[in-house]
Amino acid sequence: MSQPIVNKDKKSPYINPLMRRILVYVVSLCIVIGTVVFTVKHTYNKYTKPMDVKDDSDVVVVVPMGTSVRGIGNILYDEGLIRNKGAFKIFMEFSDKSSKVKAGKYKLKKSMSLPEIVEAITSGEGAIPQKKFTIPEGKSIKEIANALAESGKFPFTEEEFIAEASNLEKYEQEFSFLQDIPEERRDREQYPYPLEGYLFPETYFADEGSTPEDIIKIMLSQFGKVYGSGYRARAEELGLTTDQVVTLASIVQREARLREEFPKIAAVFHNRMKKEMALESCATIRYITGKNILYVTNEEAAIESKYNTYKYGGLPIGPIACPGELAIKSVLYPDEEMMDPERPYLYFVLMDPNEGRHAFNYDYESHLQDKKKYEKLWKDIAN
């Protein structure tokens, strides 16, 4: 039997052990990299794709000034616009856009991908045009209505705003603090401004084309934020309703001009009420007459009106203006030194009308002396 012929010149393949290890390492690395790339790509697509590509309806989102990336992620997630809050945060950090978010109100869609949403809130595209307006402290509803109409920023008249502001029933369910307004002041014919005192003075941004209802809701919402649980608890300690606090704060707001005097003027009014003395606030007469008077005549003091604190004791029927937080806080925390039961301060009189500083007294004779001393300055300005 013949033997197979062997070709002795042909050599078996040989791989160096080092090369073999390198080859195994490279192949393994490629598998790992491929797996990572696939996982990252899959995860990226999973968390950045739109929530619903078929849903093109607008979702209005407000991004407040100074909101953190985490806070923005919470807002977007709660509105159903992103799939994962953590993915949003990571995307923002890796794209270096964390510091580029622009505050505002946006119209976004569930059909938008995460990158598209991020682009919208960092470029400002999609932001609803806003109008800035400022309501100073101590303005009445009529003055607020006039200022908004005169600004030309909104498509409504002074009369339309006032008419909307008279609709108390429309707002008191949403804003429960309005339910404290007494029944007597709900008569629109006698008291056409039931929301007086509650349109909180502040700087606001409102949508272009906002209606009186939109503006009123913004201002009432801000009142609710400012007059929180701490202030409400303090009012209960003092035996005051929300409406009484706002009413007295409105008087303090219109009487005081210097920050340090707000708690002092509040203390005087508290003391007078405890002694069942008439408040005799010039500010209430100014509200009735619409005149910017510095002193009250006997004729004005006799005007028949439940806002007249010369004719009627206690608080007037309601607020005479929309007070700021300082006035509200001063009513709740008046100057304690001036409320000493042994020597309560019961009087104050305007000194220099240009400066707005007052002289305070606890006895009537000293008050009369100060009044005689400074009244010439009032009359010189009035004339």
Q: How many CB atoms lie within 10 A of CB 282?
A: 19
Residue whose C-alpha is closest to residue 105's, from 120, 86, 88, 87: 120
Round to whole Å and give the CA distance between 242 and 171.
Answer: 16
Residue type, 358: H
Mind listing the pLDDT tens digit for each residue in 40-72? 554 555 667 887 888 888 888 888 878 898 999
DSSP state of 139: B
Angle at 225 between CA 238 and CA 248, to 5 degrees: 35
- The contacts of residue 76 (CB under 8 Å, 6+ apart) are 61, 82, 85, 88, 108, 117
Mind listing the pLDDT tens digit for each residue in 10-48? 555 666 776 767 766 666 666 656 555 544 554 555 667
pTM for this entry:
0.76
Round to whole Å and give the CA distance between 316 and 244.
Answer: 9
Residue whose C-alpha is closest to residue 132's, from 231, 215, 42, 226: 215
CA 239 to chain CA centroid, nearest Å: 27
List the domain boundaries for the chain.
Answer: 15-47, 58-128, 131-225, 231-382
Mind listing the pLDDT tens digit for each residue in 304-329? 999 999 999 999 999 999 999 999 99
Region 181-191: mean pLDDT is: 90
| pLDDT value of position 38 | 46
**Beta strand segments in the chain, E:** 58-63, 104-109, 130-134, 203-207, 347-350, 358-361
Angle at which helices 242-255 and 282-289 pack, to 10 degrees? 90
Quote the CATH superfamily of domain 58-128. Answer: Endolytic murein transglycosylase (3.30.1490.480)
